[in-house]
């Protein structure tokens, strides 16, 4: 019998807790397939929000240029809010008109950073916030590239003119909303990868 067992061999039956009583280890080397699926869904949310913000900004600017530019401002809420088309060579809200190329480069860097960060994205609120930032940055970058006076020096189309405030556009609004959401998430201790930390 012993000789038969030696020739045939006896199958190893793994212990549920391992030979030394320790819990079985999960394979290392990254997130599980379930985590990967969640990450892909969050990236889709980011891209969906970015595309929506970008298209809303693009369409609104096309309408403004075609219908409102070189025309009298349109009053929305009396003197408190008007639609008034202007060309802004500076940053959001007309800041720094002498540094158009620099602001163009900053927008491009922001887009690259968001795309790289998306690989570790497992948080839905962060996906929405980054999507708003990405869509807004792409909206204004499109103006910088394709509008006069030239590539990377183009003036952004602004048209939302509240009383006693700078004129802005939907891309600026998306950037500000995304930035505010990121500040709130940071104060709450929620990281883009979904972990929560308390300092």
Taking the C-alpha atoms of residue 165 and residue 6, their distance in angstroms, rounded to an integer, is 89
Question: Which of 84, 172, 191, 193 is flagged as catalytic?
Answer: 172
15 is catalytic: no
Taking the C-alpha atoms of residue 71 and residue 64, their distance in angstroms, rounded to an integer, is 10
- DSSP, collapsed to helix, strand or coil, labels residue 11 as coil
Q: Which residues contact 51 (CB under 8 A, 6 or more apart)?
A: 135
Residue 34, token pair as written in the block: 């379930």
Question: Which of 158, 191, 193, 199 is flagged as catalytic?
Answer: 158
Whether the CB-CB separation of 167 and 94 falls below 8 Å is answered with yes
Residue 143, token pair as written in the block: 């103006």
Taking the C-alpha atoms of residue 134 and residue 175, their distance in angstroms, rounded to an integer, is 8
Residue 51, token pair as written in the block: 């595309």
Taking the C-alpha atoms of residue 31 and residue 119, their distance in angstroms, rounded to an integer, is 12
20 is catalytic: no
The residues assigned a catalytic role are 158, 172
């Amino acid at each position: 019998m012993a000789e038969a067992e030696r020739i045939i061999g006896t199958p190893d039956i793994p212990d549920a807790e391992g030979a030394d009583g320790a819990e079985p280890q999960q394979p290392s080397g990254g997130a599980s397939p379930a985590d990967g699926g969640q990450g892909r869904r969050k990236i889709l949310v980011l891209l969906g929000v970015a595309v929506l913000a970008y298209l809303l900004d693009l369409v609104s600017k096309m309408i403004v240029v075609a219908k409102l530019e070189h025309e009298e401002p349109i009053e929305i809420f009396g003197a408190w809010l008007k639609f008034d088309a202007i060309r802004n060579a500076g940053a959001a809200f007309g800041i720094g008109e002498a540094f158009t190329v620099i602001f163009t480069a900053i927008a491009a860097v922001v887009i690259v950073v968001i795309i790289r960060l998306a690989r570790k994205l497992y948080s839905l609120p962060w996906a929405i916030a980054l999507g708003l930032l990405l869509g807004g940055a792409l909206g204004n970058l499109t103006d910088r590239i394709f509008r006069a006076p030239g590539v990377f020096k183009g003036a952004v189309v602004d048209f939302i003119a509240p009383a006693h405030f700078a004129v802005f556009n939907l891309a600026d609004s998306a950037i500000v909303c995304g930035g505010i959401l990121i500040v709130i998430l940071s104060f709450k201790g929620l990281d883009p990868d979904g972990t929560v930390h308390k300092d």
